[in-house]
Structure 1
Amino acid sequence: MVFRGTRLLFIFSIFFLFLSCDRQKVKESGEVTTPEQQFTEVKAALLEKIWRLNPEWATSVGYHKYDSELVIPTPERLENEVASYRSMLNDLHKINRTNLSLNNQTDYQMLEDFFNGRIWYATVLKPAEWNPADYNIGGGVAEILNGRYDSLTNRLRSISLKIEHVVPYYEAAKNNIKKPTLEHTQLAILQNKGALTVFDELADSIKVARLKPFEKDFLQSRIATAKTEINSYISFLQNDILPTVRKGQGRSFRIGKELFSQKFKYDIQSGYSAEQVYQKALQHKDYLHREMLALTQKLWPVYFPDEPLTPGLPGVKQLLGKLAEQYVRRDSFLIAIKTQIPQLVAFVNAKKLLTQDPTKPLVVRPTPEYMRGIAGASISAPGPYDKSANTYYNVTPLTHYNAAEAESYLREYNKYQLQILNIHEAIPGHYTQLIYANKSPSIIKAVLGNGAMVEGWAVYSERMMLEQGYGNNAPEMWLTWYKWNMRVTLNAIIDYSIHVLGMTEKEALALLVNEGFQEEAEAREKWKRATLSQVQLSSYFTGYTEIYDLREEMKKKQGKDFNLKKFHEQFLSYGSSPVRFIRTLMLKNEN
């Protein structure tokens, strides 16, 4: 008995020794570190490697160590990036995930998904070969030029070093392009023309900077070279690429079911598959139509007192057309947006929907030319390393529209819909959510932002604001929101239908105009956007559905103890994590 007991004690001692070694690590100094501490160190090292590989992304999140670097996208460089991501995966896998807190397990999973996604992009999707718009130095230069983190003089020095290598950059770009799409080639031409305006602004900045004479000479020479190279790239695309693509020697913008499903998995990171989201969107479309028909019956006598109700969807379209007559003038569009922002701030504060931070500025501005061609409105937000920088609300001027096109666009963004747009883009939508993301205790959750969560929150915030009485609960506002939410729903439908099911432009426009009640100009812009992106249009509906379902689940669990402000602030505290991860964290804390 003694022998057996002693042996048993010995066996348990060995077991716990191995268990202890698995749960902690002894440094050379003799200090014992926990798995949490080890993972914190690994995260910091991996982030540094990520920023070194992606200097422009680093700049955009406020990490300026690599501002002067310009990645030359040669095939060798792309191969090295893949090898680096695989190496980082190996470093990550040295950590035993099961020994981490649930919060850190989420960071672990986000890093793993990010590395796998980057490897897939480079080795399977290969946009470097077919998307000429991937090559544009204007954005990276503008990010530094417009920054506030350092003196203009020092920022110009970084730019000077960055654009020193512009010749091999565009040379590599030309060599990489194998079989581009027509749509991405046209976008590349448009946006690189916009990049030229960045260098005009850069040249103007030299006049007020305190650069030494030789530094000014170097920078002016490099600006001239950069503009020459950009023009050369534009000419290459116009004269060498476009003619061959138009002869059918390019590739289709449609990526097909297999690639779409894989891209959905890496980009959206939903609990649903791409096909499941498509089916849910079809069902939601029918629900929205029922709600809109009911409101149309209620409002018809107000707007058409002498006319019988036009039955079905044509009646909804007619009523929405009447509401669309209330729109701002073309030259007042930007001003109208600026005017509404303080009103949204006041409403959120009055209803105690979440805590806002008045120290973080929101600047409404015309969309810079190098960014135009995809969306009419967008947010450019600073990252967690540069939290005090401005957030920009980009609004594309209507100067590229003729009078009829401009009126169609303004009817789309009429008095009611413009308010919903501002909720979505600004408060409490993208602007507010990204401010919260920068405050997340986990920088991983802030920088590895999930598009479906970010877009889903913006869509959710629209519905939430109306539920709380924004717009005085007017049926006109609700009808307009149903139309707006229909747009989100149709985004998911056409995204899948175009890339997987082969939907034509004619079919897409008919769906958007007849069942989505969109103006033709808006519908054509959406078709264009669907040809230039894949999966992204599905992110709105997917994220919104998951967030709203989570809120309703929490309300049911907590009953009378449910507090909307608490829910919002807890949800937003997890940065821009995929909603399925946030759901796990919130429900775990609830238990």
Structure 2
Amino acid sequence: MAFSFLLAGCSKAPSEKAEIDTNVAFDQYKNAFLESFWQVSPEYALYNGRYEFASHLRINDAAARAADAEFISQHMALLAKFSVDELNGTNKGDWAIIDNELRSWQWRLSTFKDYQWNPSHYNVAGPIGLILNTEYAPIEERLAAINERLIKVPAYYQAAEANIVSPALPQTLLAIDQNRGAIGLLEGGLQEAIESAAISEKTKQDLVMHTQQAVAAIEHYVEFLEQMVPALEAGGAKDFRIGEALYEQKFSFDIVSEFSAKQVYEMALAEKAKIHVEMATLAEQLWPRYFPEQPMPEDSLILIGRVIEQVSLEHAKPSEFVAAVQTQIPALDAFVVEHDLMDTDRNKPLVVRETPAYQRGFSIASIEAPGPYDSAANTYYNVSPVDDLSPEMQESHLREYNSYTMQILNIHEAVPGHYTQLVHANKSPSLIKAIFGNGAMIEGWAVYTERMMLEQGYGEGQPELWLMYYKWNLRTVVNTILDYSIQVLGMDEQAALALLMNEAFQEEAEARGKWRRASLSQVQLTSYFTGYKEIYAFREEQKQRLGEDFNLKAFHNEFLGYGSAPVKVIKDNMRAH
């Protein structure tokens, strides 16, 4: 690379001039790293707002993985040329993030190899849906980009079928469901866009033909997976549990914590016991209100469960679930502004919508935010409707996401949780921190805001809201216990459901959904509790350190100003001044 001579020279002299040169060189390196990274990861570029890559569909074959390995090797060598001690605080953090990203990527290719056993990694719908829904260019240009992608879809799924040699059953079933959703996108929303676009008849015919070929390729992939299912169900599937060694390695790369996975698991067990005490106190307070003529149960877990059952009956109607989410967002935004909790930006649109079919099956609500290169684009708050569930499952879901819990959910997902954090992240001067977001920081921040909002007076101390907050927070804690217990300790579905329903007071539908999620992913469920504990403890540390000079809004703005960096990186920077 053109700047490599500078890297070799600027890491030797310890003078102030050398430090300046090292940071200049590292800034040049970061830009070059990203530009070369987009070449091997065009879908990731697209999700970050680099729409010139919209027509690029990466085919995950052996040649692509060899190119990945070469990219990793080259950049690990380039990164090693820098003396970290000579970098400023921002660049030290960026160096650590790039280093972790490269080592994690290398580990996935050489050790984890989930491209061989996770069929749900292969789905062309996401980028196509993003191109259709993001008005970064006239629809005619966007359809041209989609057309280029469609041409490569058959080769994409041929590579996928060649890669899948030892699939796990839950991931296979998810891939079947989500790729059926992809077919729905191509035959539905894409066809509507083609028919209404001002393009020539020949262009329309080409798009329709390539769409049909893409649909056929997806159908073949679905059939390929469906044919494997009987053998997988009969015992031929790879165990979706990854075991202790791989779990600790993945935790280290994904979470970037000061703790090990086992330590966080043990912290979560202790936290669960503390929350049960808090919930019992609230349940005792609420019992006379809901059961005025009945004696209070002596067993605290039964007491808590009975009160939760009654409070949970206050919920939205099935047909109004998504709309109920939407109506709460302005009130949360107004509370943040009124109490001056952090900077907000009302010019960044948040669109509440039903979760697209090709994204359903993993969680009931999620934020889909634009990348830092297109930070003005819509942020979508995806909420899965409950209309198509059976009446029993509808009621179970609605009790789980009752009128109180829904407020906590909206704080977490929207304001001032994920949506607010990602708006700040896209303004970060460090593209590296914005692009390579750390899951524990992102999820930890959202969990932190739930408690912070109630501490600042949201809900006016309503005991029902605090009880449901603790139930929701208990979900965060139990997520960690559940994930570690399943992936490392071998917990089965029956024991998992007992934990979730009896000790975390979750409805059966939610508990079964969480079992499914824990069988589909690893480590991610620990990110909520790990990040939350580290952020909350750091805030209390800063309060002690700064005394009367501590300002909550200033703390929030500075913390968020470091983008989606690992909490450890943010703490190091904030402690330095």
TM-score > 0.5 by shorter chain: yes
Q: Residue 510 of structure 1 is aligned with which of 498, 518, 527? A: 498
The aligned counterpart of 1:365 is 353
| SS of aligned partner of 1:374 | coil
The aligned counterpart of 2:6 is none
Q: Does 1:113 align with 2:108?
A: no
Q: Residue 178 of structure 1 is aligned with which of 159, 165, 184? A: 165
**Mapping 1:141-160, distance limit 5 Å:** 141-160=128-147
The aligned counterpart of 1:435 is 423
Q: Does 1:352 align with 2:340?
A: yes
**In 2: Cα distance, 1:533 partner to 1:403 partner:** 29
Deviations 1:373-398 (A, max 9, x none): 10010000001000110000000111
The aligned counterpart of 2:267 is 280
Q: How many residues align?
A: 567
**In 1: Cα distance, 2:148 partner to 2:492 partner:** 46
**Mapping 1:185-584, distance limit 5 Å:** 185-200=172-187, 201-239=189-227, 241-311=228-298, 312-584=300-572
**In 2: Cα distance, 1:250 partner to 1:42 partner:** 44
| SS of aligned partner of 2:351 | strand
| SS of aligned partner of 1:95 | coil
* Amino acid of the structure 1 residue aligned with 2:490: G
* Amino acid of the structure 1 residue aligned with 2:559: F
Matched-pair contact (CA < 8 Å) for 1:23–1:35: no
Matched-pair contact (CA < 8 Å) for 1:257–1:500: yes
Instruction: Give 1:558 deviation, angstroms.
Output: 1.0
Specify whether residues 18 and 465 from structure 1 end up closer, same or farther in structure 2 by C-alpha distance, changes over 3 A only. Answer: closer
* Amino acid of the structure 2 residue aligned with 1:35: T
Instruction: Give 1:458 deviation, angstroms.
Output: 0.4
**In 1: Cα distance, 2:211 partner to 2:14 partner:** 57
The aligned counterpart of 2:5 is none
Deviations 1:260-284 (A, max 9, x none): 1100000011111000000000000
| Unpaired segments ≥5 residues, structure 2 | 1-8
**In 2: Cα distance, 1:169 partner to 1:444 partner:** 29
| SS of aligned partner of 2:381 | strand
Instruction: Give 1:33 deviation, angstroms.
Output: 7.2
Specify whether residues 53 and 19 from structure 1 end up closer, same or farther in structure 2 by C-alpha distance, changes over 3 A only. Answer: closer
| Unpaired segments ≥5 residues, structure 1 | 1-15, 26-31
Matched-pair contact (CA < 8 Å) for 1:430–1:458: yes
The aligned counterpart of 1:6 is none
Matched-pair contact (CA < 8 Å) for 1:356–1:432: yes
The aligned counterpart of 2:35 is 48
Matched-pair contact (CA < 8 Å) for 2:116–2:164: yes
Instruction: Give 1:554 deviation, angstroms.
Output: 0.4
Matched-pair contact (CA < 8 Å) for 2:10–2:22: no
**In 2: Cα distance, 1:86 partner to 1:559 partner:** 47
**In 2: Cα distance, 1:17 partner to 1:282 partner:** 49
Matched-pair contact (CA < 8 Å) for 2:535–2:567: yes
The aligned counterpart of 1:123 is 110
Q: Residue 50 of structure 2 is aligned with which of 36, 58, 63? A: 63
| SS of aligned partner of 1:128 | coil
Instruction: Give 1:210 deviation, angstroms.
Output: 2.9
Matched-pair contact (CA < 8 Å) for 1:132–1:185: yes
**Mapping 1:24-103, distance limit 5 Å:** 34-103=21-90
* Amino acid of the structure 2 residue aligned with 1:307: Q
Specify whether residues 214 and 587 from structure 1 end up closer, same or farther in structure 2 by C-alpha distance, changes over 3 A only. Answer: same
| SS of aligned partner of 1:223 | helix
Matched-pair contact (CA < 8 Å) for 2:367–2:381: yes
The aligned counterpart of 1:29 is none
Which stretch shifts more, 68-77 or 527-536?
68-77
* C-alpha RMSD over aligned residues: 1.6
Matched-pair contact (CA < 8 Å) for 1:277–1:542: yes
| SS of aligned partner of 2:344 | coil
**In 1: Cα distance, 2:365 partner to 2:296 partner:** 35
**In 1: Cα distance, 2:523 partner to 2:135 partner:** 34
Instruction: Give 1:95 deviation, angstroms.
Output: 2.0
Instruction: Give 1:399 deviation, angstroms.
Output: 3.3
Instruction: Give 1:246 deviation, angstroms.
Output: 1.8
Deviations 1:6-58 (A, max 9, x none): xxxxxxxxxx9995498768xxxxxx971111011100010111111111111
Deviations 1:124-176 (A, max 9, x none): 11011000111111111111111121111111111111121111111111011
| SS of aligned partner of 1:34 | helix
Deviations 1:316-370 (A, max 9, x none): 1000111011111101101111110011011111111111101000000000011
Larger radius of gyration, structure 1 or 2? Answer: 1
**In 2: Cα distance, 1:121 partner to 1:211 partner:** 43
TM-score by length of 2: 0.96
**In 2: Cα distance, 1:130 partner to 1:140 partner:** 22
Which stretch shifts more, 103-112 or 82-91?
82-91
* Amino acid of the structure 2 residue aligned with 1:335: A
Instruction: Give 1:306 deviation, angstroms.
Output: 1.1
Instruction: Give 1:211 deviation, angstroms.
Output: 2.6
The aligned counterpart of 1:588 is 576
> Percent identity of the aligned residues?
46
The aligned counterpart of 2:155 is 168
* Amino acid of the structure 1 residue aligned with 2:360: R
Matched-pair contact (CA < 8 Å) for 2:11–2:86: no
TM-score by length of 1: 0.94
| SS of aligned partner of 2:380 | strand
The aligned counterpart of 1:5 is none
Specify whether residues 17 and 149 from structure 1 end up closer, same or farther in structure 2 by C-alpha distance, changes over 3 A only. Answer: closer
**In 2: Cα distance, 1:491 partner to 1:48 partner:** 37
Matched-pair contact (CA < 8 Å) for 1:424–1:459: yes
Instruction: Give 1:85 deviation, angstroms.
Output: 1.2
Which stretch shifts more, 535-544 or 246-255?
246-255
Deviations 1:200-249 (A, max 9, x none): 2112111232333332222111111001111111111112x212212222
Specify whether residues 219 and 294 from structure 1 end up closer, same or farther in structure 2 by C-alpha distance, changes over 3 A only. Answer: same
**In 1: Cα distance, 2:432 partner to 2:12 partner:** 28
Matched-pair contact (CA < 8 Å) for 2:283–2:307: yes
* Amino acid of the structure 1 residue aligned with 2:346: P
Matched-pair contact (CA < 8 Å) for 2:40–2:67: no
**In 2: Cα distance, 1:472 partner to 1:87 partner:** 56
